[in-house]
Amino acid sequence: MPNQPPLPLPLADRPHDGLHGGARALAMLAVSLSVLLSVLDYAIANVALPTIAHDVHADPSSAIWVINAYQLASVISLLPLAALGERIGYARMCRIGLLLFVLASLLCAASTTLLQLSLARALQGFGGACIMSVNAALIRYIYPRAIIGRGIALNGMVVAAGVALGPTIAAAVLSVAHWPWLFLINLPLGGVALLFAVFSLPRTPHGSTALDVPSAALNAVAFGALIVGFDRLAHRDGLGTSLALLTLGTVCLLVLVRRQLNQAEPMLPVDLLALSGFRVAVLTGFLAFVASNFFIISMPFTLEAVLHRSAVATGLLITPWPLAIVAVGPFVGRLSDRYPAAVLSSAGLGLTACGFGALWLMPATPGDADIAWRIALAGAGFGLFQPPNNRAMLLAAPASRAGSASGMISVARLLGQTTGAMLVAMTFALLGHAANQACLGLAALVALSASVISLSRLRHRAQPVTGS
C-alpha cells in the first residue's frame, strides 16, 4: 500500500509553545482587561455598600448580600464553568463571561430594590466566574512554557492593581455621580475587553464529552450549603439551620467525590488532586488566602478602633499591601521560570508571616511609617508566593486538563478568602475587642503553616522541575 499521510493530532494533543510578539501582547491584553473587569467591580462594590444600602432602603446586615451574591455565585460555578471551558474552548468561555458581565452591569445600574440588585450581582458573579475559571488556562496557550511564569505574574499584578484601584475609583465616581455609575463604567471597559477577546485570544482545545449536569448541581449545593452554613455559624445565626446546611453540604460533597472518581475527566478534579505537586499547591494557596483575609478584614478595625486613624488614613495605610504585590511582580515572573515554587513560594509566605507577626508585635502607639513598612513586607512576600504557586498548579496538570487546573486556582483563592472572612467573624464573636490583635497573630500563624506545607515540595526536587 502507498504511504498514507499521518492523521492530524487532536488539538489538545498537539505540541504548542504559546504566541509570540504582538500576538502574545494583544492576547494577554484581552485576558488582563477581562480579569481587571471582574476584580475591579468586586472592590468597587465593597466601598460603595453603605451608599447603596441607603438608596435601596436596606439595613447593613441585609445589604451585605450585594457582596455575598457575587461571591457565592462565583464559588459555586467556578468548577462547572472550568469543565465547560475545556469542552467549548477557553477563549469562547472568556467571551461568554464578558458578555454576561456587561449585561449584568447594566441590570445592576437599573436596579431599584435590594432583591433586584442582588440577583443582578449574582449574574455578574457568574460572568466573572466564566472569566476567572479559564484565565490561567488561556495564559498556558499565550505564553511559551519556558516563560509562562511571567504571564502568571502579570495576571497577579492585574488582580492586585484592581484591588488597589477599586477604592480610589469608587470614591472618584461617587464624588460626582450616583452609585449606578459604578456599574455603568463597566460597559466601555467590557466592550474594549470583548473586542480584544474576539480577535486576539488563541484557539484552544475543545473536549468531546458533555458537561455532567448532575455533578454541576451537586457542586453548587455542596459549596453553597457549606459556605452559607459556616457563615451562619460564625455569626451565631441559628444553630439548627446552620448544622442542617453543613450536613447537606457535606453529604452532597461526598456524593460528588464518589461520582467523580469514576469519570475520565472529572469536573471536581480528583485526578489532579491525586498528584502531590498539584495537591500541595492547592492547599498552600488556600491557606495563604485564609491568612491574607485575617489581615485584610481585621486591619481596618485595628487602625480605626485601636490606633485611632481616620477612614482616609486607614485606606492609605493599607495601600502598601497591593502596591508591594505589583512592585515585585516583574521580578517574580522571571524568577518563577527559573526556580521551583518549593523555594520561592515558601520564602514569600515566610516573609508574609514575618510582616503579619511584626504587625502583631507593633508598639502601642506606632507611627504611620511603622505600620506601612510592616504591611509592605507582608505584601511583598505575598507577591513572591503567588506566581510560582499558580505556575506549579497549572503545569502539574496535562494540557488537556488546563481548564480544571485554572478553575482550581480561583477556587483555592475564593474558598480561602471566604473561609478567612468567616474565621474573622468567629474570632470577633468570641473575643470581642481582643480579636483585632488575635487576628493578626492568627494571620502570621496560618501564613507560616502555608510556608511549611509549601516547603514540603522540596522532597520532589530529584524529579524534573516543572514549577512544583
pLDDT of residue 453: 94
Q: What is the pLDDT of residue 441?
A: 93
Residues 244 and 287 in one domain: no
Question: Do residues 233 and 303 both lie within one domain?
Answer: no
For 346, list phi and psi in degrees, rounded to 5.
-65, -45
Count of domains forming the chain: 3
Assigned domain for 447 exists: yes
CA distance readout (Å), 87 to 82, 201, 346, 403: 9, 16, 35, 9
What is the pTM assigned to this prediction?
A: 0.81
Burial (Cβ within 10 Å: 0-12, 13-18, ≥19) of residue 445:
middle
What is the CA angle 306-233-430, rounded to 5?
35
User: Does residue 4 sit within a domain?
Assistant: no
| Same-domain status, 197 and 243 | no
Supply the CATH number for residue 288's domain: 1.20.1250.20
Give yes or no: residues 314 and 169 share one domain: no
For residue 431, is it within any domain? yes
Question: Residue 7 and residue 330: Cα distance in Å, rounded?
Answer: 42
Q: Are residues 229 and 331 in the same domain?
A: no
In terms of domains, do 249 and 339 share one?
Answer: no
Residue 208 lies in a domain: no
Helical ranges in 397-456 per DSSP H? 402-431, 435-455
Rounded to the nearest 10°, the torsion over CA 416, 417, 420, 421 is: -150
In a shared domain, residues 53 and 92: yes
Query: For every one of its 468 residues, what pLDDT tens digit does the chain have, with 9 covering 90 and above?
Result: 444 444 333 444 444 567 777 888 899 999 999 988 888 877 677 667 777 877 888 776 677 778 778 888 988 898 899 888 888 888 999 999 999 999 999 999 999 888 899 899 999 999 999 998 888 888 888 888 888 888 888 887 887 777 767 767 777 787 788 888 989 988 998 999 999 999 998 887 776 677 778 888 998 999 889 888 888 887 777 788 889 999 999 999 999 888 888 787 788 888 888 888 899 999 999 999 999 988 887 887 788 778 888 767 877 888 888 888 888 888 887 888 888 888 999 999 999 999 999 999 998 888 889 999 999 999 999 999 988 998 888 888 887 787 788 888 888 888 888 888 888 888 887 887 778 888 999 999 999 999 999 999 887 654 444 443
Q: Are residues 144 and 225 in the same domain?
A: no
Give me 195's grid cell.
Answer: 473586542
Shared domain check, 284 and 247: no
User: Is 427 contained in some domain?
Assistant: yes
Residue corresponding to grid cell 447594566: 106
- Enter the C-alpha cell of residue 407: 478553575
**Structural domain harbouring 237:** 217-262
371 and 257 co-located in one domain:
no
Pairwise CA distance, residues 69 & 232, whole Å: 15
Give the cell for residue 399. Answer: 494540557
Is 49 contained in some domain? Answer: yes
Q: What is the pLDDT of residue 395?
A: 84
Polymer length of the chain: 468
Inside any domain, residue 7: no
Both 275 and 167 in one domain: the answer is no
Whether residues 24 and 96 share a domain: the answer is yes
pLDDT at 208: 67
